[in-house]
Structure 1
């Protein structure tokens, strides 16, 4: 397939318009190469042998080859695909090459609209998922909004799972409620040992609205971003036992327009490292350390839904700043990189495409 239009970042445009030293913005010239299209895709994982696994919100899992050929996978759990919920994230087990195990998150209406985490063994040659079982389920269940549902593994094999507040607010501050939290689980879905709250053994942090991206940086620090209510999208450095404030504080406002106290009013609550107003509606996020784009090493790459952008965030220890933003012309649902450092984006919506970023310099 032929690459499409060239992409120019906002920082590069500023350099052209303002005459800024070009060396300060020595970013690659990019085009995009479409590989395949889907029915409301939600998340993508790269396979070590090449190719991809893509989830579709209505409840399908698709194997995609490097050349874009698609094969549906059988054995996926039934989901409720309505509004903001359905089949969500996919993650390969840390020992995937030997075990073939994958993890999925989804919402099942038969259980009151609860977020679920499950695991099964995939056989790509037979295009099937076997021995699939539920490992964890949100309690209590229910709510209206997106459930978070994003996963990442630490180097020691613990699974971090985001659980949204489902637009209910108060559960985020209730340690007896798994909504509005970031959870740390063992590989079998049980509470991991050493979590900070004795009364809530699964919980790592609380006070989250809709944590919708989660990743470790190169120094082993955990970061997550979440969507604000009306303004106030956040990038947070995640530290065990911290309370990130929702719904007590926010950098945004209620949808009704009423104010919410900002983080400065509650120094006891963790403030975001970056706040976005206007919002970018952040989606998938990866830490990039690949060879294809050496200029981006040590950065987060974040998909933007409302902003229809790819956003690059530079890290400096525990500080961060937005460094680049590329207008993609479509909502970007997820971002991944393969073992060679190639970067792929997943568009949102009916007909959303899997795209490869291609260097042109």
Structure 2
């Protein structure tokens, strides 16, 4: 799941660039949201991050009992999701960028009582994560933490592989979510996205023009679609995070090249990870390969630190000339998860506050791994297994 970091209230940092901040989003202040998620260092940073930041306001409204019981725009959108309608005279107009539309979503999956749960499982609100010192300090993991992360990442890989095996025309993304949920629970884990900031499902499924954070629903996958499945697992007190983009039936050549290029972007980025490399160099490598292939890099979301927290420092931008600070050190764990667009890099948020799409309606692909920095290089904790399904033709050549 793509990251965006918060910072502790007594030491505010810009949510866009991580510099010291003394400005606050006025809408967040009106909604009485935590200062840590609404601080900016300048008007320029505030404006540049508005398209993604405004989703925070909608999520707050959706979680408010007053909003849910009123005839508001948010209630209209909830109705839209439940009924699968894109627009009626009773609902607000939205300028859809591509052909995809929301479909009905099923009830939230149940997690058995014996499963260890993160602190947002019941009420949707992360409590430890936003105010942790690890939002601006990159943790070097202990051997015990690393051991647990290896185990959790192995489970997450098996969960994603289970989802990959059922992808074909006619399958709904809700069915993919069911497989992810049931496989995670069977392994003794908790699906990290479930109820995280009120996200309603156990994984993200991003189809065609959706860049990330698509909500699984009743729409059937169609021949020629591409779909990204983003899986995160919480087990033994630590998180794992990975995703892959899959072909649905017969896919056009441009989409094939987009997915292959995105896979290569991640592989090339991983290849430079070792102690002493600057975090900002990762984006340079990804951007160079994407642009040489005629594609663009989405900028609103980044890779992130991971461990006992789902999202924390460091931020890993995937685009060139980024301002990420810091140098990679052995023992750090983080994700790299480039989102590559067939057209322009700019994005737009659906009114559900989660589904992020390309502004031109062209397709987007993504791949992600959780990584451990070693003394000499990197270990891909979520790497493919011998039992992983053979779904990418370029791996056979």
- Shorter-chain TM-score above 0.5: no
TM-score, normalised to structure 2, is 0.25
TM-score, normalised to structure 1, is 0.27
The structure in which a higher percent of residues are strand is: 1
The structure in which a higher percent of residues are helix is: 2
